[in-house]
Amino acid sequence: MDHCQVNSVVMKSLKRIKSILHETPFALVILFSLLSNGLVAQAISESTRISILTADGGNEIYNTFGHTAIRVSDSSLSYDVVYNYGTFDFGMGFIQNFIHGRLDYYVNAEPTEYFIVNYQYQNRSVHEQFLYLDSQQKASIIAFLEWNALPEHRGYRYDFLFDNCATRVRDIFIADSANFQVNYEENTDKFTFRNLIHNYSYKALPLLDWGMDLLLGTRCDRVITAKELTFLPDYIYKSYALSYNKKLNAPLVSRVNELYIAPAIDKPVKLFTPFICNSIILVFSLLIMGLEYKKKRHFKVWDAIWMIVLSILGILMTYEWLFTEHTVTKYNFNILWANPIFLFTAIFLFIKSMKRSMEMILLIIGGLLLSTQLFFFTMPQQYHLATYPIIWAVLIRILWICYGLKKS
């Protein structure tokens, strides 16, 4: 296609874009990009390819859920670049920003060769879906990607569930609804966010799985929509396989390619999972009780230790609920057993005059915990399997302490 033909295509596309400006801000970006970047239009040819890359999950906290990116290539120009929305600066302030829900990610254009080598090193498969697009659609998408990769536009406030590398790629096509119909796999299994997070994180890092679950509140326990499934790259892959190019009256994905297939590696069986470890704690707590009964003594130091540990965990949960920008850490019922009030009862253990106050506090907490176990099916939040041994250890210990206080 020569320069005049492409310019004609671009000018026709401007009329269509103007007609949807009031509905999609994305179209405004395309309009200005096409007007200001003639190189994009001139470069579009039959050799230009746009594809979606989906990488399998890894074994690290930041990659266990997989990854999505966009590839733009043209063999006639020896041009091959990946637009990666999962780039972040793991430098000063990262941990603090992560805790407060203020992580800033950005889109980065990098050579495809570097992208693939990185996933080969991590032993993670990379799947490619080639998109069926005409020259006008290619020009619009590439113009947007180039605009979005500019230093003044590349950053965005990351949200694990609602604004991440997968949803950013998805929304490019949702915004241009005149051209594309984005379809989704139905949530027939009635998944919640918590279910899906568990399905991915437990296979890679069981401790991470439990740790994440402890900080997630009730907002992760509703059945999510088909669109919300696509916060995960695997569901983006399925979504594009179902989507449609309305203008060309054809499926959006023309063919698939396996860029890299990671060899299977036998993973060692994890014996000491959070459930096993917490069950050991439960048994140890019961043994302590048996020893106390035999020696007719109350091991206050043991009670002080677990109360302080759980209160610190509860303070962290409370902080994530009330003082951060995270939306999914609010209304967290794990605070019932990891209760910040335990910090006070740990002190009251050693103050004789506060024993009755401590008993009243423990009975209230114990009653709440018992109700969560008896009426778990009505709870708005699903507890992790590994949490139950801890809940029962705390509940039994509370009843034991109150029994001892009554006798004394």
The predicted pLDDT at position 53 comes to 98
- The answer to whether the beta carbons of residues 339 and 314 sit under 8 Å apart is yes
Structure tokens at 290: 């048996």
For residues 240 and 98, membership in a common domain is answered with: yes
Number of domains comprising the chain? 2
Q: Alpha-carbon distance 278 to 154, whole Å?
A: 44
Establish if 354 belongs to a structural domain. Answer: yes
| Domain presence at residue 11 | no
| 4-8, 212-216, 354-358: least confident range | 4-8
Pick the more confident residue, 46 or 84.
Answer: 84
Mean pLDDT of 388-393: 97
Q: Span 86-91, mean pLDDT?
A: 83
**Coil, strand or helix at 165:** helix
Most confident residue range from 44-58, 87-101, 304-318, 372-386: 304-318
Q: Is the pLDDT of residue 44 over 90?
A: no
- Across the range 305-325, mean pLDDT stands at 96
Tell whether 133 is covered by a domain: yes
Residues 242 and 314 reside in one and the same domain = no
Same structural domain, 244 and 380: no
Is the per-residue pLDDT at 7 higher than 70?
no
Q: Cβ distance 349 to 303 under 8 Å?
A: yes
Give residue 253's domain range: 47-187+225-260
Whether residue 122 sits in one domain with residue 254: yes
241 and 388 both lie in a single domain: no
236 and 306 in a common domain? no
Shared domain for 278 and 236, answered yes or no, is: no
- Six token digits for residue 96: 């603090």
DSSP state of 159: B
350 - beta bridge partners? none
Model pTM?
0.85
Please indicate, yes or no, if residue 71 is contained in any of the structural domains: yes
Same-domain status, 125 and 174: yes
Question: What Å distances lie between residue 222 and 126, 258, 339, 382, CA to CA?
Answer: 31, 35, 24, 10
Averaged pLDDT score across all residues of the chain: 88
Q: Residue 95 falls within a domain, yes or no?
A: yes
Please state, for a pLDDT cut of 90, what percent of the chain lies above it: 75
Judge whether 35 lies within some domain: no
Residues 239 and 323 in one domain: no
Whether the per-residue pLDDT at 51 is higher than 90: the answer is yes
